[in-house]
């Protein structure tokens, strides 16, 4: 029987609790959002002691199901002021699951910088004053040296310590690469609690118990086979998410020059195809990489410099789109170095990329000048005012510099898909309880659904709603997005996923399981935000998307407000 | 293996046609076309305007691996016609991340 681990940092105490009926059947995002809505006032100060930071593996974590290791992190967000869940791959979720823990609730705040180690024997509080101001790369190395290769490290960099709103939480992969629960400023919540790192050590634990191992084995095999048969899986393995650069550029919706154009003339130079070719000539680079055990997609990469030294792992599409095209930076190495810097400081590259572009529009940095952009971010080690402005994200930067075109919804920056072309994605940006978040439901053209037109002005609400429900369920299972999206083209696979969940939990789950789960999660999140003060006017895209035609298509965002208001009718 | 343009000409059974279309392949699609050079792309010559769907048949690309098309930075559907001089991009199915 799994337990909830509650850690009180103020009193350096902890305890294990049985799972009450309120949390039955919930994991990942479902668990974190329920816990935050039950125990944190929507009116609470996100950086105050009444906020709680919740970590939860998904329902499938640590089992034979494929790609099951996403770790959900939840709290009230200092960036959006609403409920937040950000998730990351890595090793931590599966280790937490193996420790028999359904979720970790971190409360209060320590009087000085602290690390917490969770093992089979309980919880240890470790003073961490010596790690003050330390970057994620060094702290991971130090913890690894002190606690061995069997641990996973969940940590914050100086960004989280300085309470900036673009601060993310780093989670290590089995080979100690950095993954990031990046969005929504959850690193600042961790920093506000003086929690520098959580060390998860599952030594001495066996595998995760499941209700019906034989049924799970079959369902997992069927699901795996289906995912592998989707052509995109091979594409992601060969080229990673950078594969998307040419695709999105070709679709005319690659954010360019602070969302003023939909195509970047140097897109090929930052594309997956180009990266694969140029990296193949460099020692120690890896075109594919797994961030979690049991991954069948391998979408990540290891990007190296000319001497074979690792710059970053992995270099992802969103970073290429927002730090690259959106800032007119076309030097892959420079983008990789900025990515590493963000990882080290513990910052969300998407929020930083959009903030840099806004700063370029204001004239603070020349367009396309990666070196000046990097130098500005580097100042965050010292905490200069301008660097902290960028580290507080796109909205804060735009407000400070007097820029009118700020691509953010509910305070969170839009992703690297322009909503004027992908209008269903625009509905997700506008209406998701998370703020503008493509991982909540990205509505893309699909050969399996030839009738769907992403550029149509109407009919986008139901498409976004279905995707938001589906992704809320996927995030609750702990399933990686890239194991999930093939199901959108091959709906038959969903029954295998439901069979996996049924075999793990021992519950009889019907075909409506995913939809019911997703709706219940979204309903919980919407209620929280309503009490926090969000209204329909917060479910809107920034005005410039509705007024400025995007070249080359000439499209504006024209999905009617009524359709946005009706998108999530629960 | 013959260069792809020769294969196409053989299929067409004639040397040149009035409508010229330049095609570039992305993701892993180029592995289906021997001798594909991304810098040059493929030039297809046809008798009259064809649709994007026809182009897939002509190039003998596996339909299951085709996601979408674009020309001039605008997404195109398979039933749409391709005009003379168009530069076409063909992509695999898409998913965001």
Decide: residue A305, CB within 10 A, 0-12 exposed, 13-18 middle, 19+ buried: middle
**Interface with chain B: mutation pick from A88, A182, A229, A250, highest number of B CBs within 10 Å:** A250
Q: State whether B75 and A273 contact (CB < 8 Å).
A: no
Q: Which residues of B touch A247 (CB under 8 A)?
A: 26-27, 67, 91-92, 94
- Say how many C-beta atoms besides its own lie within 10 A of residue A45's C-beta: 12
Q: What is the pLDDT of residue A381?
A: 98
Q: Which residues of A touch B77 (CB under 8 A)?
A: 450, 453
Output the average pLDDT for chain A.
97
Closest approach of A194 to chain B, Cα-based (Å): 31
Q: Which residues of A touch B68 (CB under 8 A)?
A: 251, 445, 447
Does the ipTM surpass 0.90? no
Q: State whether A438 and B63 contact (CB < 8 Å).
A: no
* Tens of pLDDT, residues B33-44: 888 988 889 988
Q: State whether B78 and A450 contact (CB < 8 Å).
A: yes
Distance CA B76, CA A340 (A): 37
- Give the closest residue to A192 by CA, choosing from A108, A104, A81, A125: A108
The 3-state DSSP class for residue A513 equals helix
Q: What is the pLDDT of residue A188?
A: 98
Q: State whether B75 and A445 contact (CB < 8 Å).
A: yes
* Tens of pLDDT, residues A451-480: 889 999 999 999 999 999 999 999 999 999
Q: What is the pLDDT of residue A1?
A: 63
Average pLDDT on A362-367 reads 98
Which of A378-392, A509-523, B44-58 shows the lowest per-residue confidence on average (mean pLDDT)? B44-58
Buried b (16+ CB within 10 A) or exposed e, A477-496: bbbbbbbbbbbbbeeebbbb
Q: State whether B68 and A445 contact (CB < 8 Å).
A: yes
* Tens of pLDDT, residues A58-85: 999 999 999 999 999 999 999 999 999 9
* CB contact at 8 A, A231 and B64: yes
Instruction: Nearest by CB to B26, from A247, A262, A439: name it.
Output: A247
Given pLDDT bands bounded at 50, 70 and 90, which one contains residue A513? very high
Q: State whether A442 and B73 contact (CB < 8 Å).
A: no
Which of A391-405, B9-23, B52-66 shows the lowest per-residue confidence on average (mean pLDDT)? B9-23
Given pLDDT bands bounded at 50, 70 and 90, which one contains residue A447? confident
Closest approach of B84 to chain A, Cα-based (Å): 19
* Tens of pLDDT, residues A280-296: 999 999 999 999 999 99
Q: What is the pLDDT of residue B8?
A: 64
Is the pLDDT at B84 greater than 90? The verdict is no
Is the pLDDT at A267 greater than 80? The verdict is yes
Q: Phi-psi category of A533—alpha, beta or left, where left has phi over 0 and alpha has psi -120 to 50?
A: left
Q: Which residues of A touch B89 (CB under 8 A)?
A: 246, 250
Q: At CB < 8 Å, which residues of chain B contact A?
A: 26-28, 38, 63-68, 70, 72-75, 77-78, 89, 91-97
Which of A5-9, A252-256, A316-320, B64-68 shows the lowest per-residue confidence on average (mean pLDDT)? B64-68
Q: State whether A447 and B75 contact (CB < 8 Å).
A: no
Decide: residue A53, CB within 10 A, 0-12 exposed, 13-18 middle, 19+ buried: buried
Is the pLDDT at A351 greater than 70? The verdict is yes
Average pLDDT on A232-242 reads 91
Q: State whether A246 and B89 contact (CB < 8 Å).
A: yes
């Amino acid at each position: 029987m799994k337990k909830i681990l509650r850690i009180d940092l103020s009193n350096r105490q902890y305890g294990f609790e049985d799972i009450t009926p309120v949390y039955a059947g919930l994991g990942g995002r479902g668990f974190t959002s329920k816990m935050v809505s039950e125990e944190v006032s929507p009116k609470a100060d996100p950086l105050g002691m009444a906020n709680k930071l919740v970590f939860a593996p998904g329902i499938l974590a640590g089992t034979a199901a494929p790609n099951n290791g996403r770790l959900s992190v939840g709290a009230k967000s200092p960036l959006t002021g609403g409920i937040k869940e950000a998730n990351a791959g890595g090793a931590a979720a599966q280790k937490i699951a193996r420790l028999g823990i359904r979720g970790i609730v971190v409360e209060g705040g320590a009087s000085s910088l602290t690390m917490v180690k969770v093992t089979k024997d309980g919880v240890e509080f470790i003073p961490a004053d010596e790690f003050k101001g330390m970057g994620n790369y060094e702290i991971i190395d130090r913890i690894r040296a002190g606690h061995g290769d069997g641990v996973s490290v969940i940590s914050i960099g100086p960004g989280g310590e300085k309470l900036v709103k673009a601060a993310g939480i780093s989670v290590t992969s089995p080979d100690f690469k950095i993954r990031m629960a990046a969005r929504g400023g959850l690193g600042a919540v961790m920093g506000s609690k003086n929690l520098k790192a959580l060390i998860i050590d599952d030594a001495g634990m066996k595998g995760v118990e499941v209700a019906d191992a034989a049924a799970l084995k079959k369902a997992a095999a069927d699901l795996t086979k289906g995912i592998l048969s989707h052509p995109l899986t091979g594409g992601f393995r060969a080229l990673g998410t950078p594969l998307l650069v040419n695709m999105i550029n070709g679709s005319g919706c690659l954010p360019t020059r602070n969302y003023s154009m939909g195509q970047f003339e140097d897109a090929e130079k930052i594309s997956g195809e180009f990266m694969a070719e140029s990296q193949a000539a460099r020692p120690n680079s890896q075109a594919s990489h797994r961030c979690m055990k049991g991954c069948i997609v391998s979408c990540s990469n290891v990007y190296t410099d000319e001497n074979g030294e690792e710059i970053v792992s992995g270099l992802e599409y969103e970073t290429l789109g927002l730090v690259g095209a959106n800032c007119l930076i076309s030097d892959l190495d420079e983008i990789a170095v900025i990515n590493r810097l963000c990882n080290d400081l513990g910052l969300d590259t998407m929020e930083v990329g959009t903030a840099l572009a806004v700063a370029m529009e204001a004239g603070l940095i020349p367009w396309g000048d990666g070196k000046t952009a990097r130098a500005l971010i580097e100042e965050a080690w010292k905490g200069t005012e301008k660097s902290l402005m960028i580290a507080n994200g796109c909205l804060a930067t735009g407000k400070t510099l007097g820029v009118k075109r700020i691509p953010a919804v509910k305070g969170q920056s839009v992703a690297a898909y322009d909503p004027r072309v992908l209008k269903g994605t625009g509905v997700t940006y506008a209406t998701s309880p998370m703020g503008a978040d493509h991982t909540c439901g990205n509505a893309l053209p699909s050969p399996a659904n030839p009738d769907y037109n992403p550029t149509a002005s109407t009919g986008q609400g139901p498409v976004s709603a279905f995707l938001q429900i589906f992704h809320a369920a996927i995030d609750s299972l702990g399933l990686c997005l890239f194991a999930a999206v093939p199901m959108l083209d091959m709906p038959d696979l969903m029954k295998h996923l439901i069979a996996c969940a049924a075999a793990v939990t021992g519950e009889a789950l019907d075909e409506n399981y995913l939809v019911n789960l997703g709706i219940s999660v979204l309903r919980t999140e919407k209620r929280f935000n309503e009490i926090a003060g969000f209204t329909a006017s917060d479910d809107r895209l920034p005005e410039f998307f509705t007024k400025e035609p995007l070249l080359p298509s000439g499209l504006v965002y024209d999905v009617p407000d009524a359709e946005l208001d009706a998108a999530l009718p629960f | 293996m013959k260069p792809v343009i020769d294969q196409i000409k053989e299929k067409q059974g004639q040397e040149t046609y009035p409508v010229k279309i330049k095609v570039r392949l992305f993701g892993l699609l180029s592995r289906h076309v021997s001798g594909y050079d991304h810098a040059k792309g493929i030039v297809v010559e046809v008798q009259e305007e064809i649709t994007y769907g026809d182009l897939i048949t002509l190039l003998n690309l596996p339909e299951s691996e085709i996601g979408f098309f674009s020309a001039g930075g605008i997404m195109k559907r398979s039933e749409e016609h391709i005009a003379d001089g168009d530069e076409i991009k063909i992509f695999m199915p898409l998913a965001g991340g």
